[in-house]
Amino acid sequence: AQSVTQLGSHVSVSEGALVLLRCNYSSSVPPYLFWYVQYPNQGLQLLLKYTSAATLVKGINGFEAEFKKSETSFHLTKPSAHMSDAAEYFCAVSDSSGTYKYIFGTGTRLKVLA
């Protein structure tokens, strides 16, 4: 079965610093991978998605993620953190076992310090 692991349930960065949120996946077949963001009291919003077209995926709000097959990773980065980036971030993989359900990681709460 496919799965994702997000390392670090809480990450704090200073405003203007690099944001790095880690996600590792487990899959026996090429996966589809997603990053979603959840702001307080809101639903999940798609940041970006990997569909094998390119290993470096650019998303909204200046975020990007790089698919590394050798490391089974899909880490999310942003060069310069903004206060408005404070939120919870979820990595997800599309299940290719035939059920097509999306498996979500446990989430990483990003705190941006002034």
Partner 1 sequence: DSGVTQTPKHLITATGQRVTLRCSPRSGDLSVYWYQQSLDQGLQFLIQYYNGEERAKGNILERFSAQQFPDLHSELNLSSLELGDSALYFCASSARTGEGNTIYFGEGSWLTVV
Q: Of 11-19, 46-54, 63-71, 72-80, which segment contacts partner 1 by CB under 8 A?
A: 46-54
Q: Of 14-22, 31-39, 69-77, 78-86, which segment contacts partner 1 by CB under 8 A?
A: 31-39
Compute the distance between CA of residue 56 and CA of residue 37 in angstroms, rounded to an integer. Answer: 18
Q: Of 10-18, 39-47, 62-70, 77-85, which segment contacts partner 1 by CB under 8 A?
A: 39-47
- The answer to the question of residue 102 lying near partner 1 (CB under 8 A) is yes
Out of 25, 34, 63, 89, point to the residue binding partner 1 (CB under 8 A).
34
* Rounded least distance, CB 114 to partner 1, Å: 27
* Rounded least distance, CB 5 to partner 1, Å: 12
CA pseudo-torsion sign 14, 20, 21, 22: negative
What 65-72 contacts at long range (C-beta under 8 Å, 24+ apart), as own/partner pairs, is 65/23, 65/33, 65/35, 67/33, 71/24, 72/24, 72/25, 72/26, 72/27
Per-residue CA distances from 101 to 12, 44, 85 (Å)? 31, 16, 27
Out of 12, 101, 111, 113, point to the residue binding partner 1 (CB under 8 A).
101
